[in-house]
Structures are given as C-alpha cells and as structure tokens.
Structure 1
Amino acid sequence: MALFKRRTVGKPGEWYYCLRHQTVEEGPECRAADRFGPYATREEAAHAMETARERNLEWETDPKWHDMDGGRAKGKGGAGEDA
C-alpha cells in the first residue's frame, strides 16, 4: 500500500503552468516534473515563466550565494577548509 495517495483530480482554484505544453491548467493535469505551481490565480500561473526568470536573476546576483572564497565554506570547521 502506498504511503501517499496520488491525487488525480485537481482542486478548483489551484492553477499550474505546464512546461511541456506551455499552457495554464486548473488542477494538476500534467506530471509534477512538467509543471510550476500551484498558483492562487490563473493570471499568476500565466506569468510563471516570467516569475521564474526574475527569481533566477535574483539568485544569480545574490552575494550570499556567490562568495569570493574560491568555493570553500566560510567559518571555522566548514567543509572544504584546509586543516
């Protein structure tokens, strides 16, 4: 018996953006690996790719993720630190 029951029918009001079909869907119609969401509104789901681009840009320019220590962890005892 499965631990988690797979939901085959979406809830009304849950919106997803299908990456494979490049369409907005109400409820999870396509497999999880092929979609973004859930979103609260159809409009939010329609702008999923734009939102993803904005978040990627924020991550790429976030100094917390791009430190200048040559890829080694900061602080004492961190992974990658010379002994």
Structure 2
Amino acid sequence: MTTAEVQHQPQQQRFVLHLDGAEAVLDYVITGKVINFHHTFVPVEFRGKGLAEKLVRHGLAWAKAQQYQITASCWYVQKFLR
C-alpha cells in the first residue's frame, strides 16, 4: 500500500486516495452553501487501516475552510459530525 495523499477532484465532487491500482473515495454534493457527504468507499483489501477516516477528516477540513454548512447522509461521515 502507498502512503498516498488525499486528492480533491472537484469536477467529480469527491476526495480520493489512490492505493496500488485501487481507489478509496469520499463523494459529496454541493447545493448552494450546503455540502452533503453521501458516500464513502474503501476497497475490501484496504479496510481497517484508517483510510476512510483520513478521507473524511480531509474532506471536512476542506468544507469548513470553504465555509460550507456540512451535512452527511453517509453513516460513516455522520460519526464525525456528532
């Protein structure tokens, strides 16, 4: 596994970690000044290594810096908003 940095792909509305030919992703949708993080995915072989957390923390920090109102329909992201 690589120690890849989180990449923001604003055209696709997602954050990505590239992992030995696979991708871990955090998807979002922006409506006005509201951002909804709606999907997190980490390939099975890379689960349990903190990659989803890395994506979510990066995405939330970016959204806060952009002054978005943050919501999450993804259960995993919801844990970070409590």
TM class, shorter-length: under 0.3
TM-score (norm 1): 0.26
TM-score (norm 2): 0.26
More strand by share: 2
Please say which structure displays the higher CA radius of gyration.
Answer: 1
